[in-house]
Every structure is written in C-alpha cells, then in structure tokens.
Amino acid sequence: MGLQTYEINHIERLRKLAPECMVLLKSDGSFPLEVPGKMALYGSGSRRTIKGGTGSGDVNVRAYTTIEQGLVKAGFNITTSDWLDAYDAVWEEEYKTFRAGLKAKIEAEGMSGLLETLGVAMPEPEYSIPLKGEGDTAVYVLARNSGEGADRQAEMGDMKLSAAEIRDILQLAEQYPKFLLVLNVGGVVDLSPVVERVKNILILSQLGISVGDSFADVLLGKAYPSGKLASTWAAWEDYCTVGDFGELDDTRYREGIYVGYRYFDTVGNQPIFPFGFGLSYTAFSIEPGVPKMKGTKVTVPVTVRNTGAHRGKEVVQLYVSVPEGKLDQPYQVLAGFGKTRELAPGDKENLDICFEMEGLASYDEESSYRILEAGDYFLRLGNSSRNTEVVGTVCLEDTVELERVSHVGGTPDFRDWKPEGAKRGLGSIGIPGERIALHLSASAFTTVTYTAPKVDEEALALAKTLTDSELAYLCTGVFVDDETKYLIGNAGVTVAGAVGETTTLLRDKGIPNLVMSDGPAGLRLSRQYGLDEQGAYPLEAEEQEAFKELLPEALLNILLGIYPAAAGQNRNGEIREQNCTAIPVGTALAQSWNPTVCQECGDIVGEEMKRFGVHLWLAPAMNIHRNPLCGRNFEYFSEDPLISGKMAVGIILGAQKHPGCGATVKHFVCNNQETNRFNSNSAVSERALRDIYLRGFEIAIKEAAPLAVMSSYNLLNGEHTSQRHDLMEIVLREEWGFEGIVMSDWVPAGKPSADDKKYPRACASGSIAAGNDIMMPGGRKHHEDLMNALNNETVAYPLTRANLEKCASRMIAMAWKLAGQ
C-alpha cells in the first residue's frame, strides 16, 4: 500500500513544525548554507539517525528519513560514503558483542534479566576511521539512544563523549572551514571536551518521521531553528549531587526544590548552556514595556524586533525571584513565556507575557497552606535564564495564605537540603536605582474553594446491578493470559499492537470496551496485521524478530504463542496496515516553547486514533527531568513544571479535540528513574512534591482536563502511587477536580517475584481500594486478587464492594463517553 493522503499530510505538517524543536547552541554565521554541494558527513547519527528512543515510546513507522537520506534528497553530494560504510561495520561488530552480553544475562537471570535489559542502549563504540571527505563543509552527527527499563550511564559513549567522538569532532573543527556538530540526542551529553573549539552546534534532537528532511531544510535555510533548552546542559560534574539517583530501593530526593536551573542559579554554578538558551540564524532585540497588574495577574508588555538578516522566531521568558521568609526560595523561577510569530528582518511584534501571582505560591509543610510571602518579587525578562534584566517588582504587602491543602505523599526520613547563602549565586538579588513597583495586598486574592467532582449516577446505578466478578473485570484490563505476555506490547485484542484494553465481557450490558495505545512520540500500533474470518491477528513484527536471538527457549515460546503466524498457525487472512506518524519526542516538543506546536502534534495523533479505533492515548508523559541520566527523559518535557504543564496542555487539547479520543497523562508521580522501576521508592518531601513534581500535572489537569491519568510504577515514601488514596482521591479528584479515570502502569500481576527488591510490586486490591480505577494490562491474577480481597480483612489490602463500584462506575462512564452507549 502506498503512502495515503493522511500520511503525506501529517509528514508535511511535521516537517514544518520540527525546526521549532531544534536548538542552535553555537553559531559563527557559517550556516545556513546557500546551496547544496559537497558534504563530508560523519558520525553515528548520519545513517543510524534516531527518530525517537526505544521501548513503549517508540512508534512503528513505515519509514523515516535519516540525515544521510535527507541530505541526498536535498541535493547534497555526500563525499564520505566510505567512512559511513566503515562505521557501519564497526557498529555491527560491536553490536554482536553487546547482544551476546545481554543474552548471557537473560539466560542467567530469566525474566528479571529480560526486564533489566529491555532499555539498555549500546554505548557509542570506539573506532578509528580516517576523515578524508571532500568539500569545505563537514557535519558530524552525534547520536544517543535510551529507553524505558534502564537509566543512562555517566560514562564515555553515553552521557560523556567517546574518545573517538572527541578526537574526530576536534579534528573536523580544524580541518573544515565550515563545520557543524549535530546532536541527534534525546537528553543531555556533556559537551565540555569540545564546546570551546567547535563554532557551530545544533541540537537536532529526535524529531520523529521527518527528522532527516527537517534537518536538510534548516541546513539550507529553507527553515530555521527556533527552540530553546527546556533543561540545563552542563558538564556532568556540575550537576547537583545532593540527592540520590538510581538507588535500587530508596532514592532520596534530598535536593528538595532545587532541581535543574533552580539549583544551578541558586548556588551559582555555570552550566555550559543554561535553561532557556537557544540562538537563531538572526538576532533580536527585546524591549520591555511597563509592567501592569490587574487583580493578581501581572503582565509585562514587550516588543521583539528582528535586527538580523534572516527570518526567525524568538522566545521571551519571564523569571521571578520570590522573596525568602519563612520558606527558602531558589534564585528565580520561570513564571511566564511567549514566542513570536515568524519575524522577517526588520519586523517586530508586541507580546504580553503574563502570569498569575498564585502560580508562584510555595507549599508550607508546617501549616499545609500554599503561601505567597510578603516582600519584593523581582520580575526578570530576557531570552534565557542567564540573560535577563529586571523590569519591575511586585511588592506584596502581607503574606497570603492562599489555599489550605491536605498533607499528602507521606514523609521521607530526611529534611530537604537548603543551599548556604541562597540567592548569592548570581549576585545580589536587589537592583540598584529606579524600578517600577506594583503594589499588591492580600485582599486582592480570592480564596480557593473546592467542589467535589460529579459522580455519574447512571453509571453507578449500572455498576450496582453487576456481580462482584463483573465489577472486578471492569477494574482490570482485558488481558487474561499469562502475566508475562504484556512485555511484548500486545495486551490488546481489538486493535493490533494496541498495548491494552478494558474488558470486552460486558458489551451486552451496554458497556463498550476501550482501546489504549502508547505514546508519547505518536501512536504505537502494529504496522501490519492479518484479518480473516476469525478476526484480526498480529503478525510477527520486526522487533519481535530481534527478540528471537536474545531469548532462551522458555521465554521465546511465550513470545511465539502471541504471534500465531510465527507459531505456525498458518492464518492466511488479508494483510492490513496501520501506518502511524512519529512526532518529536517530549523533550524536543518542550524545546519549541510553543504549546501550539504541541497542539498540532496532538491533533495529528488524534486523527490517527480515530482512524484506527484507539480511545485512550498513553501520553503525554510528563515526569520532571530531575537527573540527566534518567533513561526516559527523552519522553518527558523539562526540568521545569511550568514548561511541562503548558506543553502537556497543548498536546492534550490537540488530541482531545477529536471526539472519542482521550489523552492519558503519565506517570503520576515521581517516576524519575528507571533502575528497579517496578519497586523503587522515591523519598520526597511534601514541599518538593507539591512545588515541583505535582505542579506540572496540576497545570495539565486544571487547564486541559485530560480524560485519564496513569499512576506510576514507583513507590512514593514507602507506598506505591497507585495505592495512595491521598494522591488518587484527594489530590487528583478533590483538590484538582479531575473527572477522568486513573489506570495503573502496566504492572506484571502476581506474587512478588525474585526481581522484587526491598519493596513488592503494586497490587490490584491496594490500587482499586485507593481509587486507581483500573489495573493494567489486567490478567487472571489481578482479577483473583480483587476477588480474594473483597470483604476480607486478613489480606494486606482489603476491599469493599463500594470501592469496586466506585472505580467500576468511573470506567463505565468513560466507556460511554468515548465509545458511545
């Protein structure tokens, strides 16, 4: 089947959007090029271009353009085919050894070995191939991959550059008059060994299906990069080491609220490239107007003018230094931002950068109020966190207790770290001379009141007529077989390759089933499936082929059981296709600093959900970039909760514009590492939980009303998030008014197994009792657990019929909403 009209349309839209996600880190004016010509192309990402990371976030596409292909299509003459071939040979050889290592681990450790190897990316191999490409222009594409199940390593070939990369990049910078270092990465790499001597650096990121074409467009100036960093890029040694990362059992977030630039700016560490930074092919001036205040909303008008010689877009950022009082505060926090439209040389645009003072409130653990303390709030306007000027002050006359919230999330066994001499990092907080002062008193704020979310009485009435077992089916996914099969990403039955579904057993009672598919970098489905008189059946996919050589017989048999074609069942139905479009990864989207770009991507996915019959998209993923080594950071947006929240809002609105389609924000909450991911405990203070980790979710839920939330695998202060009534019912529903469903992450059912470390896995009974409505992907054991726990005081998590009815009624209401009555 050739490319369909919708595919062409989606690819064209993405090709235009993708440059907004690229960040130009250094430029000496050599680029863009005027015409295509001879090009010396090097580096692992040239031919092995990464469109998005691995794991459930990977989207099965028909094809995508690599950098090499994109450049050839654009008319470049690549003079380094020999180098690229030689590199391929090195890579293949190294990969064999790498796979053999994984296989040995799986053989020795069985299922737990498999779980731990799933996301492990091969480090960049060392090599030595002469750099002999012709032409005066060279591009080196440095690539990194990662994915769920494993964290990255602070080692050469991963977070750090390999010796071969350093050597070649430095030599190319000397050898070619025009040299561009391109970073085809989903997260930070430590650029310190090369950054001084390389004059042109572009974060291409991982941009999905159009990555190679979008790069060629930018290289030739048909498009231009306009992204800004959504997380700090620093030398590895300069990242915060106050808290733990990657502990097997308990990971203590001792750094509290000092995450990302909040840490760097407060202690005065110099990152290589700060949060919010990004250059342009052109130059801009930013002229602030007079800040205004209406009620508690602050507006800073600004005029942005393109003073250079190329088209471009600029991002204006407003940071606020919040006064310290009872609570310590970081040097500054992002309060608002805005991106211009495309400005031609000489063109200008007036923007209003706005924020609500309430958004700056901090959580006071002692009183459990969200408070704004009296004092001067300095407004800093600029185009990166380290390039701002103070444009005014909001003088808050008295401390405001905005909102009394509940104590939630438990208590860790430490007190948060506080930096010595906070705010001295970037110098004195005060500013000399005249400044515009806006005066605000506590009476301007309105008290927040809660309204209990509505209960769907009709759905509840139906739930009351169902048997206990039927209710338990509604609260577990449709997957009924062996607990291990979910691994292969095929726990759905209605749509091939969908990762989960709700029960199909109650259709005759008027409860349709719902189909769920990953995210976040597009819709993850099987690209091809078979259809015969018995219905749809999956074919053996390429990635499963890759599993074959890795798995010992017992595990392989499980896999073959799922793929009837491979198991020799000879079904000869018609082969159908589901071609989905890979969009940029979450980190790339956040780098656009443009919720409209996110909305367009959400819209593309929403169209494909409708086309293929998917009701819930398991995206956006919005955990905080707490540490650059988290293996799933590429799926997530940023180290900053405002950016995370606003980007998620765009994606949700885009996807949910399509009737019958819902977004699922995940992983709620504090899922910031992959090491021992089913059983690791994030120990976090209430302040950091409220001000950093919950905040992005709060923005997404309050401003975009996603239809679903996915709880996370990890524990929070000793209890699984799905089993925390305080998170499921109090925070989400009572405080934030969330009216959708909460599903668990894909938890392997059954007794705690050998791979469980100090803590057990989450269980169905504990989760449903807490208000996590459905246990995914389901399975006989989850169902048994619920039945066993019903009215049984002797089990760890007893369950009442009322608990089940409540969760089941929310599932029924969602099924009606998305799949019709």
Helices (H) and strands (E) in the chain, counts: 20, 31
- Whether the CB-CB separation of 459 and 816 falls below 8 Å is answered with yes
- Whether the CB-CB separation of 777 and 744 falls below 8 Å is answered with no
Buried/exposed code over 487-520 (b: 16+ C-beta within 10 A; e: otherwise):
bbbbbbbebbbbbbbbbeebeeeebbbbbbbbbb
781 φ/ψ angles, rounded to the nearest 5 degrees: -70, -35
**CB-based burial of residue 35 (10 Å sphere; 0-12 exposed, 13-18 middle, 19+ buried)?**
exposed
Whether the upstream peptide bond of residue 777 has omega within 30° of 0, thus cis, is yes
Distance CA 337, CA 436 (A): 20
CB atoms within 10 A of CB 561: 14
| Minimum separation from the CB atom of position 522 to ligand BGC (A) | 13
**Which structure tokens are listed for 455?**
């209960």
Binding site for ligand BGC (CB under 6 A): 56, 148, 489, 499, 518, 618, 666, 745-746
| Minimum separation from the CB atom of position 622 to ligand BGC (A) | 11
Nearer to ligand BGC, 18 or 521 (CB): 521
| Minimum separation from the CB atom of position 477 to ligand BGC (A) | 10
- Whether the CB-CB separation of 315 and 339 falls below 8 Å is answered with yes
Nearer to ligand BGC, 53 or 375 (CB): 53
Nearer to ligand BGC, 65 or 502 (CB): 502
Instruction: State the number of CA atoms in the 13 A half-sphere of 720 facing the CB.
Output: 29
| Minimum separation from the CB atom of position 776 to ligand BGC (A) | 7
349 φ/ψ angles, rounded to the nearest 5 degrees: -145, 140
- Closest residue by Cα to residue 403 from 440, 439, 444, 358: 358
| Minimum separation from the CB atom of position 774 to ligand BGC (A) | 13
Nearer to ligand BGC, 518 or 640 (CB): 518
| Minimum separation from the CB atom of position 509 to ligand BGC (A) | 27
Distance CA 207, CA 583 (A): 6
| Minimum separation from the CB atom of position 521 to ligand BGC (A) | 12
Nearer to ligand BGC, 319 or 486 (CB): 486
Angle subtended at Cα 65 by Cα 62 and Cα 66, rounded to the nearest 5 degrees: 125
**Which structure tokens are listed for 38?**
């001879």
Distance CA 197, CA 189 (A): 16
Strands 662-668 and 708-711, by their bridges, are parallel
Which residues contact residue 152 at a Cβ distance below 8 angstroms, ignoring those fewer than 6 apart? 121, 144, 146, 158, 159, 187, 628, 629, 630, 631
Nearer to ligand BGC, 15 or 524 (CB): 524
| Minimum separation from the CB atom of position 499 to ligand BGC (A) | 4
| Minimum separation from the CB atom of position 746 to ligand BGC (A) | 4
Q: Name the closest residue to ligand BGC (Cβ).
A: 56
Distance CA 694, CA 284 (A): 35
- Whether the CB-CB separation of 199 and 179 falls below 8 Å is answered with yes
Distance CA 82, CA 472 (A): 61
| Minimum separation from the CB atom of position 710 to ligand BGC (A) | 6
Nearer to ligand BGC, 137 or 623 (CB): 623
| Minimum separation from the CB atom of position 717 to ligand BGC (A) | 20
- Helix/strand/coil percent split, the chain, to 5: 30, 20, 50
Nearer to ligand BGC, 147 or 288 (CB): 147
Nearer to ligand BGC, 311 or 666 (CB): 666
Token pair 């989400």: residue: 732
**Which structure tokens are listed for 412?**
């860790």
Distance of CA 220 to the CA centre of its chain: 30
Token pair 């602030």: residue: 288
What's the CA dihedral at 800, 802, 807, 811 to 10 degrees?
130
- Whether the CB-CB separation of 479 and 779 falls below 8 Å is answered with yes
- Closest residue by Cα to residue 623 from 253, 136, 163: 253
Nearer to ligand BGC, 517 or 528 (CB): 517
Nearer to ligand BGC, 47 or 666 (CB): 666
| Minimum separation from the CB atom of position 512 to ligand BGC (A) | 21
| Minimum separation from the CB atom of position 371 to ligand BGC (A) | 35
Strands 681-683 and 715-716, by their bridges, are parallel
| Minimum separation from the CB atom of position 500 to ligand BGC (A) | 7
Nearer to ligand BGC, 69 or 671 (CB): 671
CB atoms within 10 A of CB 753: 15
Continuous H helices in 244-364: 261-267
Whole-Å CA distances, 557 to 114, 664, 778: 14, 33, 21
| Minimum separation from the CB atom of position 614 to ligand BGC (A) | 13
Nearer to ligand BGC, 49 or 767 (CB): 767
**Which structure tokens are listed for 91?**
């890579």
Would you give the DSSP letter of residue 617?
A: E
Nearer to ligand BGC, 339 or 615 (CB): 615
Token pair 């749509």: residue: 495
Nearer to ligand BGC, 400 or 621 (CB): 621
Strands 500-501 and 437-440, by their bridges, are unpaired
Nearer to ligand BGC, 403 or 518 (CB): 518
Nearer to ligand BGC, 139 or 814 (CB): 814
Nearer to ligand BGC, 56 or 184 (CB): 56
| Minimum separation from the CB atom of position 56 to ligand BGC (A) | 3
- Whether the CB-CB separation of 334 and 399 falls below 8 Å is answered with no
| Minimum separation from the CB atom of position 248 to ligand BGC (A) | 18
| Minimum separation from the CB atom of position 57 to ligand BGC (A) | 7
